[in-house]
Amino acid sequence: MPHKVLAVDDNNDTILILSAVLEREGYEVITAKDGLEAVEKTERDLPALVLLDLMMPKMNGFEVCRAIRGNPKPTTSRF
């Protein structure tokens, strides 16, 4: 079972390149285009790693980090 990686960026080209590289290495890639979507997907999909842009609409990367870290339930899958 491949590890899940959540790639978060509002730039579609960045998401496409990052996804291609990670999938080639065997990771399951989940994507989000803004901070709110990223927080929702960490709670639902439990990625092992989150690659996060800092400058995004709705919630910036720092706000996303605080939201993920402040969630009392586990937000990552276990290796």
Beta-strand runs (E) in the chain? 4-8, 28-32, 49-52
d(CA 27, CA 10): 21
* 4-70 fold: Rossmann fold (3.40.50)
Q: How many CB atoms lie within 10 A of CB 1?
A: 5
- pLDDT value at residue 2: 85
Q: Mean pLDDT over residues 50-70, rounded?
A: 91
Long-range pairs for 69-72: beta carbons < 8 A, 24 or more residues apart = 71/42, 71/43
Instruction: Specify the 3-state DSSP secondary structure of 46.
Output: coil
- pLDDT value at residue 79: 39
Query: Is 90 exceeded by the pLDDT of residue 57?
Result: no
